[in-house]
Amino acid sequence: MSRFVVISGCSGGGKSTLLAELQARGYHVVEEPGRRVVKRELENGGNALPWTDGAAFARRTIEVALSDREAVGEQPGWVFFDRGLIDASSALEHLTGEPALQLLSSQYRYHRKVFLAPPWPEIYATDAERRHSFEAGLAEYERLEQVYPALGYEVIRLPKTTVTERADFVLAALSARPP
């Protein structure tokens, strides 16, 4: 959907902070599916965790991302996604070789411009829900940097600047008005 905008990129690159700024400006934001899956799995003693069963985690994240798209389908204006279906499908395909990426990405499109947060080691931090190393996040970023253009998306790299300037940058690149 052309109103659905993905903010993706390197873990710890400032995506969630940017999305919080966009939300504070009145835009609808969808939280990262993977973080929600991890939180639920930790709370319920589940195994669908990236460090325990990466494939189960990716499948669960795909389910959440599909549900997110349905839930915000009637939401007016820009809807900003903290990662989404393509990130999860890319992870599943990387881990298992299953052709999830092509199948799902052709049926469920986002706005043609995708914003990638570049690796930013100065602000990277692990926490209870992000246990992987910066190097693992970098490898994922490099995969996504290739996957999105291969699927016909225009990748726009976010500048390493203040959150206010980043939000202004995104809105200017979108011309601030949804189609």
Residue 65: per-residue pLDDT: 95
- Closest among 133, 95, 155, 150 to 11, alpha carbons compared: 133
What CATH number is associated with residue 156? 3.40.50.300
- Residue 99 counted as domain residue: yes
The answer to whether 85 touches 147, Cβ cutoff 8 Å, is no
- Residue 43 counted as domain residue: yes
96-143: per-residue pLDDT in tens? 998 888 777 778 899 999 999 987 656 556 555 655 566 777 788 899
The model carries a pTM of 0.89
C-alpha separations of 38 from 11, 56, 64, 80, 126 in Å: 14, 11, 12, 21, 14
Please tell me the number of Cα atoms within 13 Å of 59 on its side-chain side: 9
Q: Is 129 exposed, middle or buried (0-12, 13-18, 19+ CB in 10 A)?
A: middle
- Residue 178 counted as domain residue: no
Domain encompassing residue 53: 4-173
Number of domains in the chain: 1
- Residue 111 counted as domain residue: yes
- Residue 10 counted as domain residue: yes
Residue 53: per-residue pLDDT: 93
44-87: per-residue pLDDT in tens? 999 999 889 999 999 999 999 999 999 998 888 999 999 989 99
- Residue 179 counted as domain residue: no
